[in-house]
Structure 1
Amino acid sequence: MAWEARAREKLDAINSSIPQNWRLNSPVPSAEEQRDLTGPYICQYLSSEEVEITECHAVYIVKNISCGRWRAEDVARAFCHRAALAHQMVSCLHEIFFDTAIKDAIALDEYFAKTGHPVGPLHGLPVSLKDQFHVKGVDTTMGYVGWIGTFQGKKDTAKHKTYESEMVRELRALGAVLYCKTSVPQTLMSAETMNNIIGYTWNPKNRNLSSGGSSGGEGALISLKGSPIGFGTDYSGSIRMPSAFNGLYGIRPSSGRLPYQGLANSMDGQNTVLSVVGPMSHSPASLRLMIKAILSQKPWLYDPLVVELPWRSDQEGETLRYIAGRTTETKLAFGIMRCDGIVQSHPPIMRALDIVTKVLTAAGHELVDWNPPSHQRAIDIVQACWVYDGGEDVHGSFELSGEPMSDKISWIFGSERREEMKASAIAKNNVAKRAFQKEYMDYWNSTRQRTRSGRPVDAFILPAGAATATRPGARTYAGYTTALSALDYSIVTLPVTTVDKKIDISEGFQPISDHDANVHSGYEPEIYHGGHVGLQLVARRFQEEKVLVIAEYLTDLISAQHSASQSAEA
């Protein structure tokens, strides 16, 4: 069968999985007519009960089910319905297994009725998964036509639709309800999500823009509240960019904190810079709930790469004491990085940095300029890893069907295989990474000389990208996330504001390079208007507890400042 026919057959199967009474009767209006599909637009297709359920954060969903106020079945049906609508609006799903999810939810309700207590800390919580997770009964295509009906491109009947990733097992044991898998770009190596099966996944808040990549389907689905929380993966920004583009909180943990065992991947076995798995949601509290729950399953007993590091409440408490000033030292200290010296961010992102700087200063925290070792060196290290195998893995997957690469992918891997890197060259890149990590560590430690407390900064803040979101045809730059992957830090992306075409205008822009000028030329306030603006909050390695506490605190500061501004305007 030609690749076009196979792709069409798969798309038809995905769409036919949507119940007839959940299908839209008419096409979604164009982006010109209806730019924003979130909030009131999607809610018009839901009952008041479904809206109440799906507008809740994950923490409250679990609380309401665990106290008996809501049934897991009703929650599952509500999110399945909203996810079905989301897919019809922005093409964000690769696999739909609503019937299985509802059966699982009914079983949870029966258990609760019989025992009077939940199965686990995620009892009845719907969780969506990026299409790298293997789940029994459904395909994992990862956007490749050649993977349809196979196990990662191989006709392995023993594993196809029977094998499950380690985290899937743990989520089930915790009481989570799994119901869909979300769209990804071919190869996972793109800041836009598109493939030859489901097409392009648009940004629901502003359909002139991309939902990001490679966890773009997760970003779009959660943005439309078709999922309260889901899992993406991040190699060079694949959780962080979709989270920032879609107004979400997403965490890139340090490698080895959460289990990656049994996930599909591109270039599997490349170990210089590891892809990591992490949750994306609407609040830091939801991310904390999920990570604590996963760690309670002791994943280090089942994934050889996971570090034995349970959740550390003492790290949370220590951070809270500094925030409140209940120590003998000063409050927290933050580094602020406005530009990486390669590409300057668009005006809305610079305004977001101004907002964060203002609220932290007003709260009595200390800010220092962050001028670390060259991020270009880190970008070069990460990008070298992409072609260790000369494109063998990627080209082999495309050759299974004969489907074409998108331009974004062929830019990286070329039209044909290249010479594989020698072991000595890979070793040299590993040494370069280690040297860069040490130099960056020394720089971070040196900031104690610039703080009043004599302590190094607690975290630093920088853009999540040069643009608030990628868009088709415009030059992009992912260096702000890519460089940090070489450092393996604990990073949370958090939303700060939205683009305002009246405020976020380019005045006095002076490019620092031709690349900077090209990226800036893609910024048009009218096109970006209304889109989300997010930043990265960075802590040291394995400081997930600390960075989530700070993210929640910073969110409260931003929210209070926003409320005060609205009151002043009124």
Structure 2
Amino acid sequence: MTVPQWKSLAETKRQSILDAIPPKWRFQDPVPEPAELRDVTGSYIQQFLTPREVDITETDAVGIAEKTTSGQWSAVEVTEAFCHRAALAHQLVHCLHEVFFEAAIEDAKRLDAYYAEHNKPVGPLHGLPVSLKDQFHVKGVETTMGYVGWIGTFQGKKGDARRGVFESELVRELRSLGAVLFCKTSVPVTLMAGETVNNIIGYATNPQNRLLSCGGSSGGEGALIALRGSPGGFGTDIGGSIRIPASFNGLFGVRPSSGRMPYEGAANSMDGQNSILSVIGPLAATARSLTFLFKAVLSQQPWYHDPLVLEVPWRDDIERETRALIQASAAGESKLSFAILHHDGIVHPQPPVARALGQVEQRLKQLGHKVIAWNPPSLKVGYGLTGRIFDQDGGADIQHHIQLSGEINPPQTIVDADAAHLKAQELAALNVEKREYQKLYMDYWNSTAELTGTGRPVDGVISPCAPHAAVLPLKYRHVGYTSLFNLLDYTSVVFPVTHADQTVDVPHSDLQVLGEMDQTIQDEYDAEAYHHAPVGLQLVGRRLQEEKMLTLAEYIGEAVRG
């Protein structure tokens, strides 16, 4: 039987990723199957590393930068440690699309030479390894974004002079800050999916439970950081693509409002669709690392290099005001209030997520904060608007890139290829509907000032990121919990809460299901299969409230752990 050309291309590319891993870092024995070994984090991956490598790679981004910018740790030593751990991570869960370790080590050598000569760092990220979702162009490195038809091209265009030499704006800024770029992480083809699977690398699994998904579309990024193969990295989010992997992998991640982070020069699906903009944000193991990375990028004044970035530097006054509210609460004078979205009226969260919501609500009340139920305008209407916006071209852009190679259509894509292609007048009307819905939601948020007792509306909303903790392969059916806040363009920060526990998180026994979708998702809950899957929640604020939400997420995350 003749093998289709696209399959041969995909296989060659898949093998090239493995071949880029130095032989000394490849497993000599087969990795046990997921059914035999679910969790490959912690002690499992540590056994293949030296104690020094473990020490380096299990330090967070802030801690590493403190060492590298003061000359205590060399950039080369840190980079080699993370390259080694990233190589192991890919062999365990298929989390990488591009490996450029040699170039990274050469960059690290130049940073060490600079420090030796000038006795100071290049910038605040001097010597810090940073990973990137495979949407960002890096000199000398391919970008496929999971499309077989993009192999050997520049975003599907053969002979384009930008191939191999062009770099995205964020990449330029990270280099200026002293970061060391060393790998690009796997994505679902099209990006429009809550799981990471494509015809090049196959299916990317969850490091803490390899029976489950690592999420999407920044799934490779989430899996790599969960395995501590990177101290922090950057993903993108148009419907939940930062928050879902952060939640599924027990990480912190921020979906900022559009206009805060530079997207200029990054590849994308449906480029030019401006009704709901994809945004860039960091993922990391600690909340303080998110803030550190976010502030570092803003220090580069990206509004002078990306026409869509707002001239909004990091606002220290807002951070100080938020910390003052937290300190007042600690003194017994709570000035903070929150709302809990228990369900969206369409799908109830499965038992582990419902427990996490209850756990956070109880903790907030113990701390003396006012907590109310969140009952906003119809979420079903919001979900409908989101779906129509994503489907506005009838899947034409995605189909074009799939047909470049003739590869089979990927599973799990949330764009409806059978939807009608909207005319300009229809799209304009849809944008008016979106604006009217945003106004309704804004008015509802304002109205909560009557319920909080603080004289202000709620400071944030605690919501599920998904109905489930991670998800069984090809079972991601409902993206509403995250995509709604893309429609509204609200700031949202994910924080880890707990892990699924089969002895506690038993199936709901007296649930009044909300409809067919709810019934399906509840029926698919398998307590044994989900055991030990991370559970995270999102803290949602209003537009452009990144300083406040990042500060509050750090506070709530620490309170929940405490």
The residue aligned with 1:16 is 19
Query: What is the CA–CA distance in structure 1 between the aligned matches of 2:312 and 2:333, rounded to whole Å?
Result: 28
After the TM superposition, which of the residue ranges 52-61 and 476-485 deviates more from structure 2?
A: 476-485
Q: Please, which of 195, 203, 207 is the counterpart of residue 204 of structure 1?
A: 207
The residue aligned with 1:485 is 486
One-letter code aligned to 2:535: V
The residue aligned with 1:499 is 500
Q: Please, which of 101, 104, 115 is the counterpart of residue 101 of structure 1?
A: 104
The answer to whether the 8 A contact 2:148-2:407 is kept is yes
Q: Alignment partner of 2:140: what SS?
A: coil
Query: What is the CA–CA distance in structure 2 between the aligned matches of 1:544 and 1:79, rounded to whole Å?
Result: 29
Q: Alignment partner of 1:407: what SS?
A: coil
Query: What is the CA–CA distance in structure 2 between the aligned matches of 1:464 and 1:388, rounded to whole Å?
Result: 25
The residue aligned with 1:289 is 292
1:298 equivalent in alignment to 2:307: no
Shift in alpha-carbon separation, 1:161–1:403, aligned structure 2, 3 A: same
Q: Please, which of 359, 366, 379 is the counterpart of residue 363 of structure 2?
A: 359
Q: CA deviation at 1:184?
A: 0.5
1:311 equivalent in alignment to 2:314: yes
Q: CA deviation at 1:450?
A: 0.7
The answer to whether the 8 A contact 2:332-2:368 is kept is no
Query: What is the CA–CA distance in structure 2 between the aligned matches of 1:473 and 1:175, rounded to whole Å?
Result: 39
One-letter code aligned to 1:513: G
Q: Alignment partner of 1:493: what SS?
A: strand
The residue aligned with 1:213 is 216
Q: Please, which of 399, 404, 410 is the counterpart of residue 400 of structure 1?
A: 404
Query: What is the CA–CA distance in structure 2 between the aligned matches of 1:485 and 1:340, rounded to whole Å?
Result: 15
Query: What is the CA–CA distance in structure 1 between the aligned matches of 2:475 and 2:145, rounded to whole Å?
Result: 25
Shift in alpha-carbon separation, 1:158–1:513, aligned structure 2, 3 A: same
Q: Please, which of 505, 508, 511 is the counterpart of residue 510 of structure 2?
A: 508
Query: What is the CA–CA distance in structure 2 between the aligned matches of 1:491 and 1:460, rounded to whole Å?
Result: 9
The residue aligned with 1:563 is none
The answer to whether the 8 A contact 2:195-2:476 is kept is no
Query: What is the CA–CA distance in structure 1 between the aligned matches of 2:474 and 2:512, rounded to whole Å?
Result: 23
Query: What is the CA–CA distance in structure 2 between the aligned matches of 1:253 and 1:56, rounded to whole Å?
Result: 25
The residue aligned with 1:46 is 49
Q: CA deviation at 1:330?
A: 4.0
One-letter code aligned to 1:462: S
Q: Alignment partner of 2:265: what SS?
A: coil
One-letter code aligned to 1:259: P
After the TM superposition, which of the residue ranges 369-378 and 141-150 deviates more from structure 2?
A: 369-378
Query: What is the CA–CA distance in structure 2 between the aligned matches of 1:236 and 1:389, rounded to whole Å?
Result: 17
Query: What is the CA–CA distance in structure 2 between the aligned matches of 1:278 and 1:33, rounded to whole Å?
Result: 35
The answer to whether the 8 A contact 1:79-1:126 is kept is yes
One-letter code aligned to 2:542: R
Q: CA deviation at 1:344?
A: 0.2
TM-score (norm 2): 0.97
Q: CA deviation at 1:418?
A: 5.6
Q: Unpaired segments of 5 or more residues in structure 1? A: 561-570
Q: CA deviation at 1:407?
A: 2.8
Q: CA deviation at 1:387?
A: 2.1
1:227 equivalent in alignment to 2:267: no
The residue aligned with 2:335 is 331
The 5 Å alignment of 1:162-561 reads 162-325=165-328, 330-409=334-413, 412-414=415-417, 419-474=420-475, 476-506=477-507, 507-560=509-562
One-letter code aligned to 1:265: N
Deviations 1:434-459 (A, max 9, x none): 01111101000000111112211111
Query: What is the CA–CA distance in structure 2 between the aligned matches of 1:165 and 1:135, rounded to whole Å?
Result: 7
The answer to whether the 8 A contact 1:475-1:522 is kept is no
Deviations 1:87-140 (A, max 9, x none): 000111000000000000011011111111110010001000000000000110
Shift in alpha-carbon separation, 1:475–1:67, aligned structure 2, 3 A: closer
Q: Please, which of 56, 62, 67 is the counterpart of residue 65 of structure 2?
A: 62
Q: CA deviation at 1:67?
A: 1.7
The answer to whether the 8 A contact 1:466-1:476 is kept is no
Q: Alignment partner of 2:68: what SS?
A: helix
The 5 Å alignment of 1:66-85 reads 66-85=69-88
TM-score (norm 1): 0.96
Q: CA deviation at 1:476?
A: 2.6
Q: CA deviation at 1:482?
A: 1.0
Query: What is the CA–CA distance in structure 2 between the aligned matches of 1:454 and 1:44, rounded to whole Å?
Result: 54
Aligned length: 557
One-letter code aligned to 1:255: S
Question: Considering only aligned residues, what root-mean-square deviation do their CA atoms show, in Å?
Answer: 1.3
The residue aligned with 1:568 is none
